[in-house]
Structure 1
Amino acid sequence: MPSRGQVGEPAENTLEDLDAAAIAYAHRCAGATRAEIDAAREELVRYCLPFAGRLARRYRGRGEYLEDLEQVARLGLVKAVDRYDPERGSFTAYAVITISGELKRHFRDRTWGVHVPRRVQDLSLEVGHASMLLTSTLARTPTVGELAVRLGVTEAAVLEAVESAAGYSPASLNAPVAEDGAMEFGDLLGDVDGDLESVTDKLTVTDLLLRMPARERRMLALRFYGNRTQAEIADELGISQMHVSRLLSRALTWLREAMLSDNPPYWEGETRGGRPGMHVSVDRDGDALVVRVRGEVDRDTADRLRIGLRHAISGDGVSAVTVDLTAVPLVDAAGVAVLVDAVQAAATARVEFGVTGAQPYVARILAVSGLAGVLRRS
């Protein structure tokens, strides 16, 4: 052990008393010149070098040269000596934390071939260490659950750490597959993608689906992506199973014809321009008007219906206006707002107003929106 007044090199095969050496260093620096402080600092660092070397050897076998790890540990030792404050506790404990931190930072920032979040890098090292300990204890490879319990983390975190470990030392695409070096790993990657041939068909189907009413699109999604039965679809949409069967058959028949034709066949409710639309016609019977609507009533078509209903309600000699929604598969929030506006306008003009022919799905939307009073049976 060094005396209080001097820091010397430890005898071979003995452990250093770093706390005593640090206290002696602090006493020597009190009132000393800059040159004396530098000399004392160098002696303390040299005295602690074996301790730094032992910490570095704890991390060997992880893919880094021991000489590099010792250099990193010595750098941490120098930082610990320069930053240590005797009034804040044990120098040994502070040096362990500082040197270990430098070593972990070296592995985290300098050795990973692929960028991985720091928390995952640290956990990956802990998983590797815990795996070695459990393998020695259990005489077998530990399970993910056992590693999670050992480290106090979730199994998902352990799996993420194990997968990220592959990014520590990624294999080169130029590495030879066999000893003769005739083929590299990169030669095994890449092949003709059979799905490329279906890209055009998928894009065509997507465009055709957008031409369909929302209800038919929803039914196709529930049937072929949600694996729902026709009975389940009928319950969700509020229609009969037979109706679902007819609508699905009609939609699939139209899709097949459209896929085989350069000019897709006309879908009722679609404008001739090829985009979903709405058609409004007005029939007069004396002083009563019937406004027949065909197609979806959504935010793109709601304004046209609003204008049409306003004109019908404000017409000369009109005492009643009935909106026929038999050919309307969908009414969204914008469509509901149009009908609410029409009810208010009719009340102001003292015109009787009603809605007839609403399909069950549409009728349910209107009912929960406060329009149950204007619904009429067809």
Structure 2
Amino acid sequence: MTAVAAPSRSDETVRLFTLRSAAGSADERAEIEDQLIRLNMAVAVDATRRFRGRGIATEDLEQVAYVGLVKAVKGFDPDRGHDFLSFAIPTIRGEVRRHFRDLGWSVRPPRSIQEAQTKIIACEGELYQQLGRAPRPSEIAEHLGIDRELVVEALGASGCFAPASLDAPSHEGEEDPISRRLGYSDEGFDLAEARAVLAPVLAKLSRREQLIVEMRFFRGCTQAQIGEAIGVTQMQVSRLLTRLMARMREELQVELVA
């Protein structure tokens, strides 16, 4: 007698959502949703892997991921024709990012970035289900009615979470702390080398652009300080720097190839 293979998680998820659509009562619908949640708990745990080791306990991350999974199950509309995972994963990760935004920052980004992150987290799941894929920054910007560059900055502001202690062991099973492996860096040498490499590129910039680069990367000035010096807002400085870096990168590649 040939054994019948158990249905895959994906197939069983589709079957349960079909049953939920035909549910005759709120209690029946709730029971099916509970089965869907238990069936996909491993998916929620797997979605937290990229966030581990950033200062929040793994157990806490998993609990937050389960909250995201519950929201995904309750909010998913199978009639739109997309796979459940294409909606669940961004919903779960959005919930985890929201948790980091509220509790995990050691250095908080500007309020405009935080507010943009909140809006992006709220709309990502919806856009995933509409498009059947990850939304592009331009699509998020159009959906929210905000600048694309602000969306890019908000998506990129993921490095300010709680840092690892320098007194922690370098590797598991070792006693030497990370701090003992840190070498001394002569900042003056690095700056001189950077100036020499970038000299041909900097020569092609306007005086204003040269000042922006000088203040930001050689003097260590903040964007707010640069804005005050050249008479623009901090956000405008951020945009100018983004464009400048793109131009300089292209020019540098040309110089290196020539």
Using CA pairs under 8 Å that are at least 6 residues apart, name the structure with larger relative contact order, 1 or 2.
Answer: 2
**Pair member with larger Rg:** 1
Higher strand share: 1
The TM-score range, normalised by the shorter chain, is: 0.3 to 0.5
Higher helix share: 2
TM-score of the pair, normalised by structure 2: 0.40
